[in-house]
Chain A
Amino acid sequence: MTRVLAFATAPPRTSALGPYVTEIVAMDGEVRMACWFDPAGAAPDCGLVEVRRIAAGQQQADATSSGRRLRWRRGRTNAGSDAADPATRRWHDARDDPWVAHEADAADFFVALDQDAVYPVWELARAHPGVRASFGLHAVISALSGRSTLTDGR
């Protein structure tokens, strides 16, 4: 079973999602999506196993913290990140979301479904050696079928 964790900052078009999810499922895969918008009706009947909205930073400020989350946060603080920057904010949102943390640990692929989701995926990939990360679901299919390769960071 291949587990794909996809990220979207805007509702993906059904035609850009459905056929690829169907193909991944046919290849014994599962696709979950984390998003920054209300998922209700955003991806109907696309074959996604689960869709979750990532909580914005303030909503999860006091949430329980795992050791992993603390390590990520510390790492970013040391790097002097600017939390006002939208890319950084999205990364922090993803980093601090418990559902994302759980699914990220089990994932084989991280996928950015749009340009603004690239940076959170790039950071997640750095924190999870062994997980392949792509822009777009097509690259997952291509990698699974051996037509192209995605590096895994190890």
Chain B
Amino acid sequence: MSHLIYIAIGFPPAAKSSAYRMRAVANLFCEAGWDVTVVTIHDEGWEREFGIDPTLSEGVDPRIRIIRLPLSREDLEPDIRTYSEFRARHPKAWLTDLRRREMESFPEPVFGLWREALERSVAAVHDERPADLVLVSPAPNTGMAAAWKLWSDRGVPYAVDHRDAWSLHTYRGVESFTRDSPAGQWEGRIFENARELWCVNAAIADFYRSRFPAIADRIRVVENGHDPFPQPVSPHRPDAEQGLSFGFLGTSNFPADMLNPVLDGWRAARSEDPVLARSRLVFRGHFGAGMARGATRHVAAIEARVQDRVSYGGPVSKADLGTVYSEWDALLLLIPGGRYVTAGKTYEYVATGLPIMSAHAADHGANSVLDGYPLWIPPPQELHAELLAQSFSTTARLVLEASEEQRAGAAAFGRRFDRRTLLRPAVQALADSVGASDLTEGMAR
């Protein structure tokens, strides 16, 4: 049986969006007859960040072995007794010094100091049970150093499933660092020697094909897709008299300033549209990590609009997703970035079959997923309150006037993006490339 070492920092039960893709990839390899060892960090590390969601682990194939390294983000350490006096008295200076030390170890802030432990751990797993392939799923990018070192020292091939990008700032659409910088040199040596580089959309793949022409044929687009909801979404009949419920479910990974035109637009729409005047706008999800949970500028902006029936309701566990979506009439897709960002949330929204109002850049990667969705209100040309007010009103009309045929079409559209369906060919091809795949019927499920 072939052995895969899967460096997947963010594997379940981490309450992170990465967990879904990682779980599916590990399960598919397992179903293909591979022995899979996942290398991640211990649960206490996630407790410091966005927390854990034990329901995410329920879908992990029990044959998968999971190594949980005792690594945590030092900057999110909550135990004040462990702080030096310097850290307690001068937190900003302490953080500056920490970032410097992290960058000395590996050119990635926050995670650079994990490099040595990851390298040692992956080598130890290989010593115990020789690996045929290493698959690493950044971020953190530091994990790639461990994959590269095992290849460099022992010749074990590796592939990279990059859920974001490194030298490309996907939100701003600009190069993050040059090829001759320390990070650029690392990226070059890692990508050029990788068996495959997976990207989540065509725009990122094109960027890397242009940056690394020699490996263009090894770069593959592997879209995110979505998982079935544990409880199916059961849309309810919208009631204009009661008012509608608009919902946002995600993380606050967008600049807080993006919220202002949305909230202003909501207010303006409510002042002109009697249905919206009776409606509410609910934000759910992880807003802030560690000590800043629920204490971000985003939440402050939301709480300042309580008179407009805007609220923040905290995170939602995977098990409750279907229930929460079922309470809403329309979804607000508020995501940062532009053409290089598709966002896992887009796929999840599409899977609900609910009307979706886009509030993001006009030229955005999400458009490629949403194009053709029967209940989509595309983004305005600019994120201005006036234009967004029109979007809210248009969405409200769509909610109230959508035909059964449109709703059925939306539900069918979402089924195209089943995560396992999208991942399976990539897993199969990668397994075949090391000449050790043993695909079973299970994989075709």
Contact = CB atoms under 8 A, between A and B. Distances in A.
Interface of A: 12-16, 19, 85, 87-88, 110, 112, 115, 118-119, 121-123, 125, 132-136, 138-139, 142, 147-153
Contact of B44 (A16, A115, A147): A147
Given A115-B91, A142-B47, A148-B44, A136 B291 contact: yes
B287 to A, nearest CB: 8
B294 A134 contact: no
Nearest to A133: B80
Contacts, number: 90
Residues of B in contact with A, size category: 20 to 34
A136 B303 contact: no
B177 interface: no
B80 A118 contact: yes
A19 B78 CA distance: 18
Contact of B293 (A115, A122, A138, A151): A138
Top 4 nearest A-B pairs (CB, nearest first) are A16-B295, A139-B78, A136-B291, A122-B88
Contact of B299 (A13, A110, A118, A122): A13
B236 interface: no
B212 interface: no
B168 to A, nearest CB: 32
A122 B287 CA distance: 27
B85 A122 contact: yes
A122 B80 contact: yes
B295 A12 contact: yes
A15 B303 contact: yes
Interface string B72-108: 0000011111110100111100000000000000000
- Pick from B44, B52, B83, B303 the residue with the most CB of A within 10 Å: B83
Interface in B23-56: 43-44, 47-48, 51-52
A134 B79 contact: yes
Contacts of A138: 47, 51, 78, 290-291, 293
B78 A134 contact: yes
A4 B108 CA distance: 37
Contacts of A134: 78-80
Nearest to A115: B91
Contact of A110 (B44, B80, B91): B80
B300 interface: yes
A138 B47 CA distance: 9
Interface in B315-337: none
Nearest to A131: B81
- Pick from B88, B89, B292, B312 the residue with the most CB of A within 10 Å: B88
A132 B79 CA distance: 8
A110 B80 CA distance: 9
B300 A13 contact: yes
A125 B82 CA distance: 11
